[in-house]
Amino acid sequence: MRPVKIAGLGAYVPPGVITNDDLSKMVDTTDEWILQRTGIRERHKVAPGEATSDIAKPAALAAIAEAGLTPKDIDFIVFGTTTPDTIFPSTACVLQAKIGATNAWGFDLGAACSGFVYALTTAWKMVASGASDHALVVGADVMSSIIDYTDRSTCVLFGDGAGAVVLSVAGPDEPCLIDFANEIDGHGGDALCMPAGGSKLPATHETVDKKLHYMRQDGAAVFKFAVRQSGEIATRVLTKNGLTGADLDLFVSHQANRRIIEATAERIGLPMDKVIINLEYYGNTTAATIPLALMDARKDGRLKKGDLVLLTSVGAGFTVGSVLLRWSL
């Protein structure tokens, strides 16, 4: 198998912002409650008519440019998303056309908040095997398209955003992707889902009237699972590689709730100065949180070439993922 590195990183959020105070005019909530329970101050929202592929495009182009490539060099696209432009065609196809990646094949990957980690793992193995030379990994979601803005228990949590990386073969001494651990637990399906719009419950007037095309969640159940499994999967991948939390330079978790990230960091024995938390300004952007966090960490000088980094995610399904890597940019 060939060693694989992250050769380029890009991220994008739409300019529209919804603050906690804006939400407090829409539902019975306060800035204080949201900040205290989640750590979120504001989140971004697309303009009417803007779709997931639209916000993915600038992120993808930035990642390709940083890799020193053009879209025609990309031969494989994996697009992690829960909010595709349409059920079909796939958003990977839409993006391929929008960026002119005419030599790439690809597909969408549905793993909710683990979308980026699972897409990264999939593309990594394609490049490692020689089936791809330059793979584009995208995590992007327009969560505002499936949020019920009259439900205070969910509308405060999510935002819109996009991130992308390009994976290429690493040179012999270059930092590269090291290991991963992913798992799913389908018994958690009811805790976080969008009930209608699929083959089980196709769209009807009744499903719309009952608001079944919005996401629903049992927040407490998701919270408990996320804390337990993020810690478990992180420990598993570290132990497998003879490492502990103390060996890490940076922990980049999926950004759902500040308290989930802090509890996970504590479980793996990490001081908070090795943990990235940027959900304050984005909320939970589902498949985009990890590339957005990597981007902000790099801008702040907290992510440097050669750093040992652990990514973890928990999402609807449930899906759980973790990737250990040496940062290569």
Residues catalogued as catalytic: 113, 254, 284
56 sits near ligand ACO (criterion: CB under 6 A): no
Which residues, 236 to 275, sit near ligand ACO by CB under 6 A? 254, 256-257
Instruction: Supply the DSSP symbol for 268.
Output: T
Output 100 or 189, the one with its CB closest to ligand ACO. Answer: 189
What x-and-dash track marks residues 290-319 binding ligand ACO by CB under 6 A?
------------------------xx----
153 sits near ligand ACO (criterion: CB under 6 A): yes
117 sits near ligand ACO (criterion: CB under 6 A): no
- Residue 103 tokens, joined: 């030599």
What is the rounded (10 degree) CA torsion for 280, 230, 144, 78?
120
Give the separation between CA 109 and CA 80, rounded to whole angstroms: 5
b/e 243-267 (16+ beta carbons within 10 angstroms → b): bebeebebbbbbbbbbebbbbbbeb
DSSP code string of 153-212? HHHTTB-EEEEEEEEEEPPTTS--EEEEEEEE-GGGGGGEE--SSSSSS---HHHHHTTT
CB of 23 to ligand ACO, least distance (A): 7
60 sits near ligand ACO (criterion: CB under 6 A): no
Which residues, 182 to 241, sit near ligand ACO by CB under 6 A? 192, 217, 219-220, 222-223, 226
152 sits near ligand ACO (criterion: CB under 6 A): yes
Give the separation between CA 220 and CA 260, rounded to whole angstroms: 11
CB atoms within 10 A of CB 48: 6
Among 156, 162, 177, 248, binds ligand ACO (CB under 6 A): 156
37 sits near ligand ACO (criterion: CB under 6 A): yes
Output 96 or 229, the one with its CB closest to ligand ACO. Answer: 229
111 sits near ligand ACO (criterion: CB under 6 A): no
DSSP code string of 226-249? HHHHHHHHHHHHHHHTT--GGG-S
Please give the residue whose beta carbon sits closest to ligand ACO in the complex. 219
- 3-state DSSP call for residue 224? helix
150 sits near ligand ACO (criterion: CB under 6 A): no
Give the separation between CA 187 and CA 196, rounded to whole angstroms: 18
Give the separation between CA 259 and CA 13, rounded to whole angstroms: 23
Among 6, 18, 38, 82, binds ligand ACO (CB under 6 A): 38
- Residue 20 tokens, joined: 């906690």
Output 58 or 219, the one with its CB closest to ligand ACO. Answer: 219
Number of residues lying near ligand ACO (CB under 6 A): 23
CB of 2 to ligand ACO, least distance (A): 32
- Residue 133 tokens, joined: 């030379």
Among 46, 157, 250, 268, binds ligand ACO (CB under 6 A): 157
Q: Site residues (CB under 6 A) for ligand ACO?
A: 29, 33-34, 37-38, 113, 152-153, 156-157, 192, 217, 219-220, 222-223, 226, 254, 256-257, 284, 314-315
